[in-house]
Chains A and B, each alone.
Chain A
Amino acid sequence: MDKRTRILIGKVGLDGHDVGARVVAMALADAGMEVIYTGVRQTPAQIAHAAIQEGVDLIGISILSGSHMTLFPAIMKALKENDADDIPLVAGGIIPTEDIQTLKEMGVKEVFLPETSTSDIIDFIRNLLESDA
């Protein structure tokens, strides 16, 4: 039997709005994935450590506070410092369209905006992880 896909869903920075993160986490779990939710107010280093410790296949980070251009690079740096930058990172939240391309160039695999259906997120993750395998 295949190992179940493991996903870390996290909230980083000071933003306490986590409805989206929780809803996505539940949808991924319903789709058969093992989901670890970090809770709010994590630092980039805490995210990297949790991802490594839990041995996840993908990290999903939700940010609604506008601090994405600081926090995503910080998470990627923390992953790199721990030799874990092979773990794909996806983003969700309120992120201006102008920033999406920049984030992708930095290595964020995808940015999911409000109104994305959870089935689209599930499909994306499955395709990404299959193509990596």
Chain B
Amino acid sequence: MADSREGEIKRPEKALKAKKTTTPDSTEHHNRKDKVVTDTGLEISRLYTAADCPQGEAALAEIGSPGQFPFTRGSAANMYTDEPWIMRSYSGFGEASACNNRYRQLVRQGTDEIVMAVDLPTQVGYDSDHLMARGEVGKVGVAIDTLRDMEILFDGIPLNSLKRVSMLGNSFSPTALSLFIALGEKQGLTPDDFVVDLQNDILKEYVARGTYIYPIRPSIRITTDTIEYCALNAKHWYPCTICTNHINAAGAGSSYAMAFALCNGLVYMRHLMEKGHAIDDIAPLFSMFMDERSDFFVTIALLRAARKIWARVLKEMLGARSSESLALKITAYSHGGETLLEPVNNIVRITLASLAYVLGGVHSLYNASYDEVLGTPTEEASKIALRTQQILAYELGITNTADPLGGSYFIENLTRRIEEDIYTELTKVENMGGAIEAIESGYYQRKITEGALKRQKAVENKERIIVGVNKFRTESQAPSGAFRIDPALEDAQLKRLQKVKQERNNEVVKETLSYVREIAEGEKNLVPAVLEAVRAYATIGEISDVLRGVFGEYQAKEFFSANR
């Protein structure tokens, strides 16, 4: 390959500089092209000055101060000067008892929140012994069939010993919520004693990620019933995290992803308002999961723009008034640029992504493990992911002042332009009739696919550089040594499921399941009925099957055609 590392080292710096000035069209060693355009389509100038952003009084009106409308500079006045962001650890594999060891280690290492990665059968409402679960049990997360698995998974980890607990799930949210409530009861805790946050953002599953079960409209009920239950019983929980992450990861680009995600969120909020809830009673229960993976400064500006847009949309479109509603809490996951070749370099990539999210003012953060591109993270890699956050928070003075980049010509200029892009796209989707229309017509899907192809081309023609992959490449093979999930764990899970089914009171299970059916057929909130079933050790598959019987299953419509 032309750009081998060796060639780079041999060339004296002087000669390199001379070459640059004489042959400006040689892009081999140039950092910057004449025209630089980000993944989101923003052109970046060589220099920004006072003329590029608001100053003085105008700036104060436009961006405010941290903790003040429109919250561009942060959701709280003191930001990390009182305490750092919530450090989350996303983890889960195999079955509960193997995974419990990993969780205990993370707690010892100082994690604030465990985000349970659950396997795909759990996420789409199949028990571990279902035909469709074959080969998938315990693979991308821990297998959860019943409350028993939760008891084992959190053995020795009281839910109130963490700042928050979470489970990644979207189409089985009432069950996920109930599993935490029921586990809390087993541990002698009430919902007042701990904090649960859930993803519970079903609409993006139809356009990215794909863990839907039911058709769109009953799924919105499932999502909003979960939020409503918390609004009435656990106001301090976070039952809905509106996600830009998966939409961007699938290809949309971060500005479109933000616009689409917020439109998805508007569907849930309006649905709850139609049911009679005041916006200021429900908005504080929402948070957003932001993602940007291509540009350090765009990441920082995106988070600032997102808070501003949120405040503006909630105030102007939904009439929210309270600061709790208007100050958006953002979570992020540092991932996206990792490579399979030379995976240790991913530690650097993840560190820089984390730094960008912190400088953008995240409320909570989790990091990918550097070896996630190989498979389930090893123990060592999980620990490094957490340590990275702790180093950023405690070693370098990063948390000593709120919004340290506020007022930067470049950052403020980017923030303003990203905000405009998001608002333009959001208005477009709203004019189409909102998120459901945009999904049913395939609009989101088309934008996502266009973006995915554009990204792949940018890597292949080296517009986008990936060190060690399309530049300075020395390795041709991915390393071995991926974490192996013991196949015996699947058998252990199946045995436990069988045992629970034998030991539980099957009459009670039957009664609670028919109560779930009765409630699902009507309009009352689903959560209390599901909670009864969960307490009786009904399985996730049994509860999901009852709801499948009432709601039907989503028939995926494939908008994608490769042959254009």
Contact = CB atoms under 8 A, between A and B. Distances in A.
A42 to B, nearest CB: 10
Contacts of B375: 66, 94, 96
A98 B340 contact: no
Contacts of A74: 134-135
Interface in B112-132: 120-121, 123-124, 126, 132
A37 B456 CA distance: 18
Given A26-B562, A96-B480, A70 B134 contact: yes
B132 A43 contact: yes
B374 A94 contact: yes
A28 interface: yes
A97 interface: yes
Contacts of A71: 135
Interface residues of B, number: 48
B376 A66 contact: yes
Nearest to A40: B210
A67 B136 contact: yes
Contact of B124 (A14, A113, A117): A14
Given A35-B562, A94-B374, 11 more contacts: A14-B123, A16-B208, A19-B249, A19-B452, A65-B140, A66-B375, A67-B136, A97-B482, A113-B478, A117-B460, A118-B460
Contact of B210 (A25, A27, A41): A41
B452 A22 contact: yes
A119 interface: yes
Contacts of A15: 120, 140, 210
B477 interface: yes
Nearest to A16: B210
B136 A97 contact: no
Interface in B164-183: none
A57 interface: no
B485 interface: yes
Nearest to B210: A16
B139 A65 contact: yes
B31 interface: no
Contacts of A94: 373-375
A17 B251 CA distance: 11
Given A29-B562, A35-B562, A96-B374, A14 B120 contact: yes
A69 interface: yes
Interface string A87-106: 00000001011100000000
B23 interface: no
Interface in B434-458: 449, 452-453, 456
Contact of B562 (A37, A40, A41): A37
A59 to B, nearest CB: 14
Contact of B560 (A14, A34, A37, A43): A37
B6 interface: no
Contacts of A17: 209-210, 250
23 contacts: A13-B132, A14-B120, A14-B124, A14-B136, A14-B211, A15-B140, A16-B205, A16-B209, A16-B211, A22-B449, A22-B560, A26-B562, A65-B139, A65-B140, A66-B136, A66-B140, A70-B134, A70-B136, A71-B135, A74-B134, A97-B480, A97-B482, A113-B340
Interface string B544-564: 000000000000101011111
B480 A98 contact: yes
A66 B141 CA distance: 10
B514 to A, nearest CB: 28
B132 A14 contact: yes
Interface in A27-54: 27-29, 34-35, 37, 39-41, 43
Contacts of B556: 39-41
Nearest to B93: A66
Identify the 6 closest CB pairs spanning chains A and B, nearest first. Answer: A16-B210, A70-B135, A25-B562, A14-B120, A67-B135, A35-B562
A128 interface: no
A105 to B, nearest CB: 17
A9 interface: yes
Contacts of B86: none
Nearest to A114: B340
Interface residues of A, number: 39
B411 interface: no
A118 B456 contact: yes
B339 interface: yes
Contacts of B121: 14
A23 interface: yes
Contact of A65 (B120, B340, B558): B120
Contacts of A115: 339-341, 466, 469
B340 A23 contact: no
B158 interface: no
B479 interface: yes
A14 B213 CA distance: 11
B539 to A, nearest CB: 17
B65 to A, nearest CB: 40
A40 B456 CA distance: 20
A16 B168 CA distance: 14
B461 to A, nearest CB: 10
A74 B375 CA distance: 21
Contact of A18 (B126, B210, B456): B210
Contacts of B373: 94, 114
Residue from B126, B205, B210 with most neighbouring chain A CB atoms (10 Å)? B210
Nearest to B456: A23
A13 B120 contact: yes
A13 B456 contact: no
A22 B478 contact: no
Contacts of A18: 210
A15 B249 CA distance: 15
A43 B124 CA distance: 15
